Structure 1
Amino acid sequence: MKIRINSLLLSLAVAFGCLLTSCDNDDNGGVAEAVMGSTRSLEFPVSDAVPTMIAVVSDGFWQCEAPDWITVTPGSGGAGTTDVTIEVSDNTRDGAADLPRKAVLKFHGDQKRSFFEVTVRQEGDKFRDIKPSSIADMNAMEEETAVEFENLAVLAQTNNGFVGTDGTDLVYVTGEAAQARAGQIISMLGTKMDSDTRLPFVICDRLTDVRSGDVPSIPATDITADIDSYKSGTRTLIKATGIFDGSKLNIEGKTMSVTAEDCNTDIKLSDFTGHVLTLTGVYSGTASPVVRMIVTGLEDLGLNETIYFQSNFDIVWAFLADWKGSGDNAVKNLDAMGCDNDNVYLPNITTPKVSGVSALDALKNEGWIICGGGDLTGKGTGCNFQKFYLKMGSSNKQNSATLPKIEQLGDGATGIRLSFDWSPWRDKGPADMKPYDKTEIVVIVKNGASETQFPVSTPSLAAGEKLRWHNVDMELSGVTLNKDTRIEIRNIDSQFLPNGAVSGTFRWFLNNVKVYKPKD
């Protein structure tokens, strides 16, 4: 411990040495220009708290601002390193724990040119003096405020908590203590929090009363037609109708889809893949391209299609969520197709890594094989990625993408269709002089040594024409697919052989791959 503290103080001293040597020669009377400390937060129990020592490093005279319940010794000092003791008084009132309290100690020079803050928290009874609140009152409270509800009706029990109502508004309650079932009337104590979409929710500390009762009916707002623009600052009951693809509810002609942030324990959404559904639930914010919902109810309108496999390369997006990039190469800019921009950064799928894992590794883990550039071993040579899609090929290096094996195809299935979006890439240059690559691609169905090729129509694109996706939806006719079948999408033979190392530039984008069978 002594070695660690000494190392910390040495680091602070070195930092301050740099600050001192960079200061100008103006006479500041020895007043601190810079102040630093060894910690930024301290926590103490309600009573009998043991004083804590921190180190304060300064290049001149400093002092500390503190409330009455915190004693700082010494409360001021000079240049160098000073051991400072922080002590708190008991946080009690009338012999019992008072409300938790927090204060910020500010260490600074007389002129406050630089200061260092230490947040001090002391435990207490956060529910002392609490009074019941309505959900509307709770919505207006600061985050981490204690809250009490009485006679809250439970609309639905979810995997992570429950949805409640006071007859007017809705609240989403989570936490291990949130063990309430639909149809119950409960009273509870909890803590108001805000989600990452700035919508309030409550972490339940304990239920104080549970009984049966009547649950009021709350009408739901149908957002199907307006999903692309819908937003709400509170938890409202909404519903939407679309096709569920196994992870989200897609609505024809709309950019936004619906995803379940939490779900009624009586509903297993995965059982409804390929079905037309009306989902009802509590609005949980918008995070493009999805509207989040806490699903409370479901109406099954029947099977639309059987989806055996679907990928919008969200695994690459999950990778990008951890790999931020920076500047012009930031994740938010990685959308050549969406921005119609030839100069967008195109990271190789093998290069950026998060915790030692590349985007190619993430794709391999899902069963994808990305080959090319003279390599058929899946090294991904010449392949790049963007937010939700892949860019295939580079100069003299062409790529192929082979889908994972599809267990759901079983021992054999016919009448299967393949759908995907693609687009040739174009050269950089003036807006009206950007010729597209003469890319042609093909779909190959492989059953062991047997291969069947399905040609893909090539869009006619003029130089400088805006980048846009071109959908392909073909029946894989004349072949039977099974759990061992591999489906490959790549450049045609004349642009791919030998082994992808053909001379020329035949680049293209790939997204939204789906293997399915339509409803009869």
Structure 2
Amino acid sequence: MKIFKTLLASALSVLAIAFTSCEDELQFEGSRAIMISESDYVTHAGAHTDTLVIYADKGWKADVTDTWLSIDPKSGEGTTKIAVTFELNDSDDPRSAELVVKGSPFAGDVKSVITQKGDKYRNMNAVSVSDALALKEGDMVKLGASQIMALTTTGFVVSDGQNAMYVNGRVSEPVGAKVTVTGVITSIGGLNAIELEDAVFVSEGIASYPEPMDITDRIKTFAPERIVFVTVSGSCSGIVISVDDNEIGQIYNPVVSLGIKKYDMHNVSLTGYCARVQAGFIFIPIAIEDKGMAAQIYLQFEIETAEFKNANASFGTLHSFNAIKGDGYIKYIPENLAGTDPDGVWKMDISGNDPRCTGPFTGDYWLFYGNAPIKSGSVVRIKFGSRVSKTGNKYWILEYLDGKTWKVAGTPKVSEDTDIPKVTYTHQQADDGSTNITIDETVTFTRNVEHGQFRFRSVTSKQANDGSVLTKRNTGSARLAVSSAKHVAPQPMILIVSEGDGTAIDPLPANITVSADYLSFEGTPAGPKTLIVSSDQEYSLSTSATWINVDVTGGAANEEKTVNVTCAPSELSTLREGKVIITSGETVKEIHIFQSAAGQDLEPFISIVGGNTKNVGKDTGSISVDVQANIDYNAEVSEGADWITIAPVTKAPVEIGSFTLDYAENTGEERVGKVRFYNNNGLESVLTIIQRAAPGANVYFEDTFDWIEPWSSVASNGIGDSVGDNHPKASGYAPNLYTSAPLADLLVEFQNRYIDLNPASRVVYPQKNYLKFGKTSSVGQMNETGITINQDIFPDDNLDATLTFDYCPQVGDANDKFDDFTMVVELSGDGTVDGGKISNPFKVVIEPDANGKYNLKWTAMSFDLKGVGKNTKVTIRPESMENATVKRTRRWFIDNLKIEKAN
């Protein structure tokens, strides 16, 4: 193993070594800059020759400090590969020597510690895999040359041509290579395997596989005692393999190259190695054939069981629970909680093993969210049960997100109650508080979506028992339920009835006409105002806020409707704004509604929607800025900001004006420009644009994570700074990037930059401005993850680079100590790190202070990348990523990630 990376050769300067006389030194014009490719090098006990590299700009001389080690050549000019030859170490103990390189008298000695392992297996006869299978747990074993047949993230399968066996431990050699293996017989769920001590490369090769045994039709009775080569046809959900809708086992710690994610929710034919362990079958595939998506489960949940309650103890805090099949969750999203819950009655809990909300209100919804894409043309069915208490909300609407438009799922109806404005709904709750209703609807997606989303939304706060309309949250409740006294509903489930072809046909845009682009109301409205609406396609009307009501919910194609718009009296001290939304086919038109503060008329104003500061990247680009005003105004760029361009415009009163601001590439330091929106009477609003500085010419990739900043206050409790504030147990608020609805756009930003190695566990958490990964893993869980940089990093091939980042493990395990685990850097494609594809494992040890407290603090990490190129991908992750056998924590933070040209 290569333990430590030597940095910046140009900084090496100490005294010269005395290989020659002082007179010889004066005649020797040696290098002033010297570096050895490995400063600590560990190798196996056998007699062999390895290669190291001496980096130098001029002459150098080298030697070793012990006779069991030799090098060739011992001197040279410039960068040179040297052969390092090891004699056999025929003892149990490791031994070490130094490789010492000398350059100019003005430079110092450069040393590398060379360690050769001992060989406690030297007196053992090598055996075949077939012989090793007969050994018992705890026996030492030495395999003769055996071929690597398949890889996992934690080990590999070897074969002697007759039988195969699993070896628990990583190797850098590829499939097909032959290696000798030493280790100890161990058990993985009852399966005999080898716990790796050392693997020594023997030769390259190409794996030749036997004819696979098809076990699909005999899966119920198939019980091999060892690893066998098979093929099986079934469906894939994450890493779980099912046959005839019955889960039979899992793909064991799959390597990234298998691309497991693309097979999620697909029928597959899997070929590879299989073994039966205590928990079921494990599969180590060499090939997966995609058989297409079947009519199958997209998301399946199981509520109303003790197992559900026990597994979701955190529901009261997270407000969500995960699917038992498929990758997704259900979450309750409250609307305007701060403004509707003055008495603090709202809460989430599990009641009678059902997920329940106390204090539902207009605009709240249950969100069904899937992490797998759905193709256009797909027919999708959703079904579940729901119930409210007698004083819970009466009317709800089921909707699904088709592209960027929320559409009604089911048959829309219009309420007939006389004490509330008319509302459009799809489902009415029972009024007795004890009867479930069943929601069972089928829709066809016309757009490709990355995430399947349905929501079941409350459209009024009128109580189910026809009591009064609520003005604030009460102690009524809403729940998802299966069993009740009078009705049994289905478990929550989303099914792909048939998969579309993914060809989204753009519909003809609708021609919506409306009599006004905006309406304005006083704080205490005198009465309704009207809109006259029509479209050449069927249309519907809705509002964006509960204080706006319309008495018409839609019309037929070419049908003109007069719509009365009313506003509730405002109790606010400031202006508020909402919308009447007209949807016709794929076309949406928004009518802006403005209401002055309580008891006031509208005062003149100019306001920039979304805040007065925008951060932009260094490259050429543009941003869209919306300006809301009720007076005529102009726009201009401030003096000295000629890198920003905008066309001067004048806008009509109370209109949302949308401006496109173009900005040029920044080749220098960070710069600031201002855009002024103003009228001639001194009223103005100023937008500040901050453009990021250009990185140096030698920087290939840099991320300071400042892109998180715009979301720092969006989440319900903001985003904290656990490391900076040294919060115990990292309690600086860290919302879940996957499950926090306000962070949906931030998740997209993250996915544009990085690939989450374990997205199914949803364990990425933004901090201010950096990222945290991982949470506690119980037995059978893997709640840790790593990241791969999701872009082409290097402009050319055969480059050397330096990777740096700030790293911190989380403090606050069960003993209030730091999470004690190791991390690695991994390369795919061209290049090496620490001489292989995976770096030496690294771990930051945090020592307690004088009071016994373990403090969060950043540690700067650095790695040399050799021979990287255009196809190189860089990954940072925990060394071991597998399901937990005991409860554990592997949580970590990262900041200031940078890859630059090596010096």
Q: Which structure dedicates a bigger proportion of its chain to helix? A: 1
Rg larger for:
2
Q: TM-score, normalised by structure 2?
A: 0.31
